[in-house]
Chains A and B, each alone.
Chain A
Amino acid sequence: MLRFLLARLSGLILILLLVCVCTFAVFFVLSPDPAVQICGKNCTPELIDQIRANLGLDEPLLSQFLSFVGGLFAGRTYGAGDAATHCAAPCLGYSFQSSQPVWEMVTERLPVTVTVAIGAAVLWLLAGVVGGLISALKQGTWWDRGAMLVALSGLSIPNYVFALVLQYVLVVQLEWLPFPQAVGFAADPWQWFANYLMPWTVLAFAYASVYARLTRANVIDTLAENYVRTARAKGLPSHLVVRRHALRPALTPITTIFGMDFAGLLGGALITESVFGLNGVGKLTADAISSNDQPVIMGVTLLAAFFVVAGNVVVDLTYTALDPRVRVKSV
């Protein structure tokens, strides 16, 4: 078990390093000179040179990369002499736009993103797994067909379109929900809840559709297994057959994709957050893209990659706990 864990962790670090290299390559090699961008309109060549020196852009690419990675783990110092600023680890550099440390910007926004992800996850797990299970047990009925049709729509509607439809119907036409406003939970719990309700629904609809289809298919498959027939034959009540024999193996693959999906969402629900004006990591990414704020884009990309890769490891560990067959293989 320990060896398995160590192997996974070293894999995690390797992939993160590769992501670092790729992000670095994209932003510092391919894209236009950031110094020119920061400098703005009233720019002189001397000023550009100074900015480049401050940011360390005048050094060779390899040493730039090494100081970037070094900054991640040990912090780094920009500039020299009186103008020097120290950026503590984990240092992701400073935003070109607001000059704030990227790490601070990201951690400030993370709670919103986590709230979005958790609320949506609760909704989609409930709707997806329960809906899929009922569909599987009532295979071929009107419920099943209706639920699968809804799931198909959920797969096909782009989330920004659904977001606009929802906002138009619930807020503008029916006036059931107030217009989104930035408030803290303590200030106005109802407004706070209403702000999150639509993003949760929009995200959950898409994921729940996938989960419902998967759960339905898996449960139908396991119900056809011999051991389920045996359980029925020995007279076990139907609900126990479903709960003890059919559901558990059917849900194992669901845990896998759930881990991946949830980890992916922690990197920011880009579109949903922007459409609903929620100040999370996703909105930060979208804003950084439109203002071409490379350090921020780089920071959020790394963060998202970290969550995805870490989610992968967590999924593998849970899998070993849930499915004894994997445990045997890994030893």
Chain B
Amino acid sequence: MATVQSQPEMTEGGPPPLAQGTPERRILRSLAADRGAALGASYILLIVLMAALAPLLVKVSGWGPYEFDQSAVDPDMAGAPLGAWGGAGLDHWFGVEPGSGRDIFARIVYGARVSMLIAISATALTTLLGVVFGLLAGFHGGKVDWAISRVMDLLMGFPALIFMIAILSAIPAGNRAVMLVVVISLFGWPYLARVVRGQTISLAQREFVEAARASGAGGAAIVFKEILPNLRSTIIVLATLAIPGYIGTEAGLSFLGVGVNPPTPSWGQMIASSVSWYSVVPTYFAIPGAFLFLLVLSFTVLGDRLRAVLEPGGAP
């Protein structure tokens, strides 16, 4: 019964406006009608496909991400790519890396895997932690709330980036991707949990929760059947808006040299190694830079529009 009230604020002033079709349909339709959201979603789909089909694409383009092609670089020019545009052409679609001659297209395609995998896993873990702790704190109140809130204060008071780098550089090498996800989520969940906690507190006092309690529902049933469904749109919006942040964080950490280990390609790492070449081979930083920028932009636009559709009257 509670799922109907997907917009808690609106029910105060009377019944919510009748929407045509299911809520999901309505949301999808209004997003598709928005040019920015549609463009963003298409680009994200493109990158997801690219990441998923990476081995296939690399077969078509002819060069793998770890193959060195010394014939594409000029040993007399300190390994600068031969030809204009960083050596781009039919052989190497996006050109080659200076020095090693590795194919940039292949590294972009495989880098998309790293980027998407880490950002989406981190978002999933953050959302899980944020929802669980937010619900616990908001629903139980008292000491549980106090303890969780203090932990959140502490984590949010930390200089997160510096601390993430510190942890990642201190821990001896292991599975970097998993560690990145854990470290990003460790500092990310309080932002979601804080919102979930606040909404849980206000939802717990609403009449439908009281009614459920009066009809004998237990704590777990109230949380999962009454409160959680009402938090759905908030969680979707916050998660979508978290993804671009995590993509940026992963790239930034890889840029600083504490992200995924080379030779595994990552966009941030590619940009880091392009720094010393920026004046000679500008395509070397421009290509991964553009892919990264557009991906973050697409998720941000999509998240913005989703919020506008799901939470009218919410924050900008």
**Chain B associates with chain A:** yes
Q: Which of A172, A292, A304 contacts B162 (CB 8 A)?
A: A304
For the complex, is A13 an interface residue (Cβ under 8 Å from B)?
Answer: no
A-facing residues in B74-117 (Cβ within 8 Å): none
B278 adjacent to A164 (CB under 8 Å): yes
| B163 contact set on A, CB distance < 8 A | 22-23, 301
B275 adjacent to A164 (CB under 8 Å): yes
| B301 contact set on A, CB distance < 8 A | 152
| A19 contact set on B, CB distance < 8 A | 157-158
The contact string, 1 if C-beta is below 8 Å from chain A, for chain B 277-316, is 0110010011001001100110011001000000000011
A15 adjacent to B285 (CB under 8 Å): no
For the complex, is A285 an interface residue (Cβ under 8 Å from B)?
Answer: yes
A298 and B167 CA atoms in complex are apart in Å by: 11
A285 adjacent to B169 (CB under 8 Å): no
B171 adjacent to A31 (CB under 8 Å): yes
For the complex, is A158 an interface residue (Cβ under 8 Å from B)?
Answer: yes
A308 adjacent to B159 (CB under 8 Å): yes
A-facing residues in B158-172 (Cβ within 8 Å): 158-159, 161-163, 165-167, 169-172
A104 and B163 CA atoms in complex are apart in Å by: 21
A268 adjacent to B162 (CB under 8 Å): yes
What count of chain A residues pass the 8 Å CB interface test? 51
For the complex, is B244 an interface residue (Cβ under 8 Å from A)?
Answer: yes
A-facing residues in B169-208 (Cβ within 8 Å): 169-172
A158 adjacent to B289 (CB under 8 Å): yes
Beta-carbon nearest neighbor of B272 in chain A: A160
B297 adjacent to A15 (CB under 8 Å): no
For the complex, is A195 an interface residue (Cβ under 8 Å from B)?
Answer: no
Tell me how many residue pairs across A and B have CB atoms closer than 8 Å. Answer: 126
For the complex, is A217 an interface residue (Cβ under 8 Å from B)?
Answer: yes
Smallest beta-carbon distance B13→chain A, Å: 16
| A264 contact set on B, CB distance < 8 A | 159
A26 adjacent to B166 (CB under 8 Å): yes
The contact string, 1 if C-beta is below 8 Å from chain A, for chain B 20-47, is 0000000000000000000000000000
For the complex, is B2 an interface residue (Cβ under 8 Å from A)?
Answer: no
B275 adjacent to A275 (CB under 8 Å): yes
For the complex, is A99 an interface residue (Cβ under 8 Å from B)?
Answer: no
A170 and B292 CA atoms in complex are apart in Å by: 22
B165 adjacent to A270 (CB under 8 Å): yes
For the complex, is B251 an interface residue (Cβ under 8 Å from A)?
Answer: yes
B157 adjacent to A305 (CB under 8 Å): yes
B162 adjacent to A158 (CB under 8 Å): no
B292 adjacent to A161 (CB under 8 Å): yes
23 contacts between A and B (CB under 8 A): A18-B154, A22-B163, A23-B163, A26-B166, A30-B167, A30-B170, A30-B171, A31-B172, A156-B244, A158-B248, A158-B255, A158-B268, A160-B271, A164-B274, A164-B285, A165-B289, A167-B278, A168-B285, A268-B162, A270-B165, A289-B256, A289-B257, A309-B157
Q: A27-B166, A297-B166 are in contact. List 18 more A-B contacts (CB 8 A).
A: A15-B154, A18-B154, A19-B158, A26-B166, A152-B304, A156-B296, A160-B252, A161-B285, A164-B285, A168-B278, A172-B279, A217-B316, A267-B159, A274-B256, A298-B166, A304-B162, A305-B159, A312-B157
